[in-house]
Amino acid sequence: MTFLVTMLLVGRTVQTAVRRNLCRPFSASKNYLHERKGLVLGVFEDEGEEGRLHLTEAAAHFNQSVSGRLSELLQISGPKLKKGKSRIFYGIHKDFPCVAVVGLGKNDAGVCGAENWDTSKESIRQGMAAGCQLLQELELNTVEVDGCGDAQSAAEGATLGLFHFDQLKSKKKTKVSLQLHGSADAEGWEKGITYAEGQNLARLLMEAPANHMTPTAFANIIEEKLAPHAQRVTINKRPQNWIKEQQMGAFLSVSKGSEEPPVFLELHYNGSPDGKQPPLLLVGKGITFDSGGISLKPSPSMDAMRADMGGAATVCASIVTAAALKLPVNIIGLAPLCENMPSGKATKPGDVVTAKNGKTIQVDNTDAEGRLILADALCYGHSFNPRAIVNVATLTGAMDVALGSAATGVFTNSNWLWEQLHKASVVTGDRVWRMPLFQHYTKQVTDSQLADLNNIGKYSRSGGACTAAAFLREFVTAPHWAHLDIAGVMSNKDEIPYLRKGMSGRPTRTLVEFAASLAHDG
């Protein structure tokens, strides 16, 4: 027992571990941790006896390989391991100098109706992310991860948890290679990696500063990401002249205040075996920087408006992911990309512009620009006779006020489409919540002094997310359309435990899961 106690080094958090110098036993051999793998294992709460822990299958096998030392160390290391909390043990296995053990809560918790997600999947994502982050701080290059009975969720949590935008910093976090531990579901693991990498791509696009992520740069990056799938993908980067030819006056009115030229990015993923299946149409708001235009935003937090192209980022990342997964479904992605800037050429409050469908719009607030570029994109998208239309946008601060970061707000004219999106979000844990599309809101945008529509509601701030959705509905004739307002879920502080602070890339995995369900249902 004395030997075990001396070998036990427990760190409840990375900060605690660093503060107490728990890595000191390895300082004599600088490369020791780099030469060997770290391991993340999970433990569930035992249903039968309070405070006891139930090892996952992988953890039980590991415990057997070290003659029961893991379970003994867990017993003497203090109170029970709560969900999302971690402990680190050193030196108990020759191949794994560091073993992180994380609490997963109750086993088989399943879908929770009150929370609208699968609690087991969320606990696994949270636990694997916490364990991998601990080992990343110890600068291990390779980490094996417990599948925890759900390898896809484990892979998602680990991959999402390790993402950190440090491309522009001289000092970067350790790059960690993830591997599945044991003989768990390898196919599910790879699927989870692909889902999470898709969301991380959206995070990368959203986090990049606006002088690096211009409309042209955005389009080029997506083209590069889709290059390996060229046989199934067609990419059109439509220039300003094409936009003018299409009579997209609403889109052009937003872009003309900037020196950066607009780009209308059009992606076609042809995954259907016969190629005849009507496509799913995804449309994403692509404002690569939003100053507010002449209706200038206040300067505090304006830097976050580099992520006002989050709709385009999640839509394009979803198509990259669908192509990587080879989903048997046809998807068309549209991303009107531009900056919204003040200048002598910029649209002025009170100006009237004409959308692609001929409707005139009085622009009383140039900071309500996302709905303008989406209006033209939605009109154009109808020409493909899509099976369903889903547009995604960081559209209104009112959505953040209404739901915060708990869920994406969904406005839809289709019960079927709502059910499909909701079902997908329960699986991914990246939730959606249905919002109203009453005529009450439509009247507020159609009552305009100078034009057919006004780009802000009659009562300004009241029901702002709802009036914005009502405005978009004026450009939709398809029977299955949904507008996803992602302003509230754009960034993460500490609300989602397996995402670090920064831009979230939500709800990319929900969009992918939704597309996969359409492929499965035919």
Active-site positions read 297, 371
| Kind plus residue range of the DSSP H or E element containing 121 | helix 119-137
- Percent helix, strand and coil across the chain, each to the nearest 5: 40, 20, 40
Does residue 441 sit in helix, strand or coil? helix
- Alpha carbon separation from 60 to 40, 68, 83, 366 (Å, rounded): 13, 9, 18, 60
Answer whether 262's CB lies under 8 Å from 238's CB: no
How many Cβ atoms are within 10 Å of 382's Cβ, its own excluded?
A: 17
β-bridge mates for residue 269, sequence order: 233, 331
**Whole-angstrom distance, CA of residue 34 vs CA of residue 129:** 20
**Whole-angstrom distance, CA of residue 518 vs CA of residue 509:** 14
Answer whether 441's CB lies under 8 Å from 398's CB: no
CA-wise closest residue to 111 among 429, 416, 409, 407: 429
Which residue type, as a one-letter code, is found at position 445? V
**Whole-angstrom distance, CA of residue 424 vs CA of residue 503:** 22
β-bridge mates for residue 409, sequence order: 433, 485
Length of the chain: 522
Phi and psi based region of residue 136 (left: phi greater than 0; alpha: psi -120 to 50; beta: remaining): alpha
Q: Return the C-alpha torsion angle 165, 170, 171, 173, nearest 10.
A: 30
How many Cβ atoms are within 10 Å of 402's Cβ, its own excluded?
A: 20
